[in-house]
Amino acid sequence: MLILEKPYVSEKLLQIAHQKHYPILRNAMSEYLQSQGYCLDLCSDEDFVEKYQQRHRLYSMSENGLGWIKKYLDDKALNDKITLLKDKAAFRRICQEMYPDFYFKEVALEELFKLDTQTVPFPIVLKPAIGFLSVGVYVVHDNNEWQAAMEDIKNKFAVASAQFPDFVVGSNKYLIEQYIRGEEYAVDAYFDNEGQPIILNIYHHRFASESDTSDRLYCSSKALYDQYEQPFTDFLVNVNRVVGLRNFPMHIEFRLSGEIPIPIEINPLRFAGFCLNELQTHISGIHPVVAFFENMCISKEKMWKGRETDTFSFMVLERPTNADKNAVFDRDKFMSSFSGVLELREVKNADVGVAATAFVRTTEEHKQELDTLLRFDMMDFMR
The one-digit pLDDT tens for each residue of the chain (383 residues) are: 999 998 889 999 999 999 999 999 999 999 999 999 999 999 999 999 999 999 899 999 887 888 899 999 989 999 999 988 888 888 888 888 888 888 999 998 889 899 999 999 999 999 887 654 445 788 899 999 999 999 888 876 555 555 445 444 445 788 999 988 889 999 999 999 999 999 999 999 999 887 777 889 999 999 999 999 999 999 999 999 989 999 999 999 998 877 788 898 889 999 998 899 999 999 999 999 999 999 999 999 999 999 999 999 999 999 998 888 888 999 999 999 999 999 999 987 777 789 999 999 999 999 999 999 999 999 999 99
CA distance 129 to 108: 9
Q: Are 218 and 205 in contact (CB under 8 A)?
A: yes
Q: Does a structural domain hold residue 241?
A: yes
Domain closes at, from 136, 161, 178: 178
Count of domains for the chain: 3
* 275 within some domain: yes
One-letter amino acid for residue 339 of the chain: S
Give domain status of residue 91, yes or no: no
In a domain, 94, yes or no: no
Same domain, 80 and 144: no
CB 240 within 8 A of CB 252: no
Q: How far lies 339's CA from each of 215, 357, 373, in Å?
A: 21, 16, 11
**Would residue 48 count as lying in a domain?**
yes
Residues spanned by the domain of 204: 184-381
Predicted local confidence at residue 158, as pLDDT: 55
Same domain, 193 and 159: no
First to last CA, the chain: 40
Q: Kindly state whether residues 334 and 213 are assigned to the same domain.
A: yes
In this structure, the answer to whether residues 162 and 201 fall within a common structural domain is no
pLDDT at 132: 44
- Shared domain for 329 and 271, answered yes or no, is yes
Among residues 84, 108, 129, the one where a domain terminates is 84
